[in-house]
Structure 1
Amino acid sequence: MSQPLRWHNGRQSLRRRLLTTLLVPLTALLLLNSLITYIGALIYANHVHDVSLVDDTLTLVQMMATKSPDGQVAPQAKFLLEYEPEGRNYFSVFSAKHGLIAGHAALKPPGGLFTDGMAPQLYDIQIENHAMRAASIQMPNPREAGDQLEVTVAETLRDRHLEARQILLLSIPAQALLIIAAFLLVWLGVNTSLRQLEPLTKQLANREHDLAPIGDADVPVEILPLTRTIDGLFARLRAMLALHERFIADAAHQLRTPLAGLSVHAERARSTSDQATIQDALDHIQRLILRANRTSSQLLALTRAQTAGHDAGDTQLLDLATLIPELVGQRVHEALAADIDLGYEGPAGPLLIEGDCHRLQEMLDNLIDNGLRYAGRGSLMTVSLDREGDGICLAVEDNGPGVPPAWIERLGERFFRVPGSEEQGSGLGLAIVQRIAEWHNARVRYKSASNTSGLRVEIVFPQYTQ
């Protein structure tokens, strides 16, 4: 079976990473469970031995009361009380009047131990560097009135720890089998779950030029962010391919006429020896070359203007009150050559937007070119800036022949030229303006010029706010 998610060249696979991530906590869980089991077993062993220790103490008390007429412990009882395979246990009998009667002198109950009558008391004690557990009880001396006996039996902790370890060793195999079974189930679950990605992988591998969305059907919830990201990438690729196809179609459409004219006038120049005819053909060829060059430049500008979205670093803070007069000043000489009075009006204060300087220059150049081409000689053209609510309005107005109201709504369409216009153009200038304005989240308005028959184009930019 294929392993579509396994990395080659020594890189870790997703499957291995998932299993490793699960195995480490399972191992830690086994260790923690073993510790908890040992502590629980030790608590249980302590309880059982404490009960047995109290029973041994009560048994010794009973022996002292019924079978020891002289207050001494029989040798057989002493042997049983002190016997331990790996060492010994201890006992002691202290009299309030006579001191130690029997047993080990170091095994004396601490002062203040007995506060609730005759009940046995359990406590920890250290004897000969051995940690021990002891049980003590008070009883009246059956052989001497007015005397109190303190009977104590103690044992080492070895048996308690040994029993706890035995319980732990008995439980570890069962716990290990449980962890192994859980790990195998996790392995099976991971493999089964990852197999759900194989149809998606095969579907993408079998695609050649299909950029249709994958969609959410039959896609696991955990993979939806990935598939939606891929769908977003496909959408951007489709938009880019559509833009390229449109550019090719537009170029073919717009360059067909100039190229056909070039062919006709080149044939004219070749088929005659008349210098006037040749010169006229060459003049036409030069004009057609300039037209084709402008058309191709505007097609490229339109394609750049149609690129979607702002990437990081595309925009910067711009002061239109400084930038626009500078850009207008660069076109004054062309306006003078065309016999058009080009001027600027605007406030002195800063007018800040977030934008791209090169795109704004291209937009303004197309607006000015449109006026230079269609306003006519002796016309007046004014570029102005003003605040408009929360925005900044950039306007280019001329007093030329203008555009009939019936056609104003179509300005900004690709390749649209006002019917009856004698000037040759590509119909792309205002389309470029429209796209660059959209790129800046600005609005474009086309109006008749105030108090004249000319055209006024307004672009309202959102003002920069901190």
Structure 2
Amino acid sequence: MPSAAWSLRRRLLAAILGASAVLWLASLGTLTAIAWQETGEVFDDALEESAYMLLAAGGELDARGLLAPLPPPAQDRVRRVDMQYQLVEAGRVVQRSADAPARPFVAGFGDDHGFADLRLDGERWRVFVVRDAARGFEVQVGQRAAKRLDILEELAEALWLPVLGFLLLLALVCWWLTGRVLAPLRRTAAALAAQTPDDLAPVATDGQPRELLPIVGALNGVLARLDAALQAERRFTADAAHELRTPLAGLHMHVQLLQRQHPALAASFGRLRQDVGRLAALVDSLLTLARLDPLARAQLASGELALAPLFAELAAEFADEAARRGIVLDAALAPQGTPATVRGDAQMLGIALRNLVGNALRYCPAGSRVELRAGTRAGKAWISVCDDGPGVDAASMARLTERFFRVLGQEEGGSGLGLSIVRRIAELHGIALRFGPGLGGRGLGVTLDWQGAP
């Protein structure tokens, strides 16, 4: 049963929120521990400052009953909290800490105790006031706002590295999670990239997220229409070529008969026979391509092909044509360094080599040499057909496998499909088709290289 479609958006959201929640809790715990440590130090400093104040309050009373002033603490003491106090009587400071202002922090405070925010000499202060009504004086303890900011800065300096670390960790975790969640997108893209004109099967929708289903469905529709168009084109080409073979064979026979009946027109009928022969060869090539185009590699009858019988068969098949054209055809296997067999479809490889040898004989002038050779490179086999004929320029060499392409200036007739057939057979086998110079740096060399096979 196909699995139910799932939401890419929901899964991505759940993954990010889950990771964020877990990492937030971990960061919260870390921040709480650091803040507890820092605020503990602050409270310890406050207790130390209070101890100084209690120590000052433990002095002897003067003649008026006020506390006697104590000497300020040593200057090398670090006073992080920096609390300053004043003893105020009747609006006048009668005793204060060393850094406290000479006038009261707060004048005319209306309550028995409380906080006040004020600015003195350009500095902001936070002051707590408590009144001793029985003794007729009040205590005012103040702290500069800048000192509180200093503590916050110290806390921030202690926290920024852990916070940054958790943010980086969150980014890495989210990157990994989104990569896992979006993996179906990459698989779908890979499936689409693997589509070829030979295999236009629809992309599987099983297990795809709901957000991708419309896209995959639309692409499958396009692939189906493209496959139908290609199949229709191939059927038309095959049917048309097949239907032409019979009348062409009959036409060839009639022209041959007319040539015998009218010797005076033998030359004209001979050229007509050549034209009919080229047309028949074109039809055969079209039939071959129509049969090769829809094939896939898995459909080939692949096996071990012995090269010695194949080379001998090719040499015997083209011996008369080579002799008629005055060309030396050498298809003998070397005694050493030649693979005994290659892997592939025997019929298809035979068609490819026949096209290569036929092209070499057709376009080489008399006195040329054509060699059919085989060998190994990096443990992989190769077969080449090389000649020392006129060769092909670089611009034309790049287009040799195009259908119906023929090199300009060639007097010999041809359909321009022979090398297209060779290329298609090489593609089906995964063989690299290479073009280069021929014998002695002249002519053309064509190599089927099994090293390019997967």
TM-score bin, normalised by smaller chain: 0.3 to 0.5
State the TM-score, normalized to the length of structure 2: 0.44
State the TM-score, normalized to the length of structure 1: 0.43
